[in-house]
Amino acid sequence: MPEKIKKIFYIAHCRWPNEKAHSLQIAKMCEAFRRAGVGVELIVPRKRGAIFENPFGFYGLRETFSLTRLWTVDIVPTAAWGFFISSFVFGWSAFFYLWPKRKEGILYSIDLDPLSFVGLLFLRCSVFFEIHGPKKKTILNRLLFRKMGGAFAVNEAIKTDLVVNFPWLKDKIIVCPNGVDLEEDTEIDKTVSRQKLEIPVGAKAVVYTGSFQSWKGIETIVEAAKKLPAIDFYLVGGSVQELTQLLSGPVPSRVHCLEARPHSEMPWWRAAADLLLVTGTKKDRYSYYHTSPMKLFEYLAARRPIVASRTPAIEQAVSDQEVFFCESDDVEDLAETIEEVFVHPELALKKAELAYGKARQYSWANRVRITLDFINQQL
């Protein structure tokens, strides 16, 4: 255990656990901190809709940690004003809860909202933040970045933007992409996984995992599927109704939508795939420049060929050696690239093996080691 770090208080204003990627990321980071020998207490609000029964089992965590739920105002959670009130109240609940504990460890948080961290900055102890997107020069952001001990940007573009807007961060911020649990994707047999998921053993199956949101560019997948009638597409993470809202027409019959599945089931979907898809779009700045998609790192560890949109954000993590790139928002290129994977199985296998080797540098364990080393340098 690093000598300077007695304990980490991880504060996150979110319903935890939930089906979103940020909730998984929090769980995996807390687990990795514990496995590195550091005490961890996750502090979240007491909110409706959180899964209270065995939250550690929800993610199949092999290491547990302390979990504290603090009171906040939980009214109209889907409305912006309700969320801001909840953020503000939770921030001060965390302040009063942590005041007597402030000398027991360091504070660690994630940029889920612009208000819940405010009270933490008056605790007179070290605060470290994960930054998952660019930040404007607001009064609250200036206050945050002046007071905190250090920051972790999930990609280089975010770090560059932060240093431009807040020059004093130059020596207090490093890049830490998201990670992957290498123990999840052990050798799962493709045939067994398809039988479990009721996918025809002999079918050509392309799999996308993740929520259905416009900034992810998944409508390009649907349009490409129309050009590939001999291939089945499995989009795991949303309903037909959600996907239809993103499209200009109906969902093709060979595009199968499956609503959000338990995290424990996702390795089976990756194992069942002939290839895995991760898309981005030029139409959304965050998607194109700033994201660090966990699905990409999970794909790397799955030993399956990967087709990825060529965006600056994705190219920061992988190269042509590990994945098949297609131009973002280009339906024709996506369809042709998918066909290329099936036409050249030896090349696909070679890239999949190189991708698996690359996954090791993105393990949660490695991410936490880098994080703890940086924190120790800043203390």
Q: What would the pLDDT profile of 206-217 be if each residue is shown by its tens digit?
A: 999 999 999 999
Same topology between domain 7-179+363-378 and domain 190-361: yes
Question: Please, which pLDDT band fits residue 1 given cuts at 50, 70 and 90?
Answer: very low
Question: Which pLDDT does position 152 carry in this prediction?
Answer: 97
- The CATH architecture of the domain made up of 7-179+363-378 is 3-Layer(aba) Sandwich (3.40)
Domain 190-361: state its class. Answer: alpha beta
247 in Cβ contact with 219 (< 8 Å): yes
Per-domain residue ranges of the chain: 7-179+363-378, 190-361
Q: What count of other Cβ atoms lies within 10 Å of the Cβ of residue 37?
A: 10
Is residue 93 over pLDDT 80?
yes
Q: How confident is the model at residue 80 (pLDDT cuts 50, 70, 90)?
A: confident
Number of neighbours of residue 320 by Cβ within 10 angstroms = 10
Q: What is the pLDDT of residues 96-134, one digit of tens each?
A: 999 999 999 999 999 888 788 888 888 988 899 999 999
pLDDT at 270: 97
**Virtual CA dihedral for 285, 288, 294, 296, nearest 10 degrees?**
170
Considering the chain, what is the average pLDDT of its residues? 92
pLDDT of residue 39 exceeding 50, the answer is yes
Give start and end residues of each alpha helix (H) in the chain: 21-35, 55-58, 80-98, 139-147, 156-165, 190-197, 219-226, 240-244, 266-272, 285, 294-300, 312-315, 331-343, 345-359, 364-378
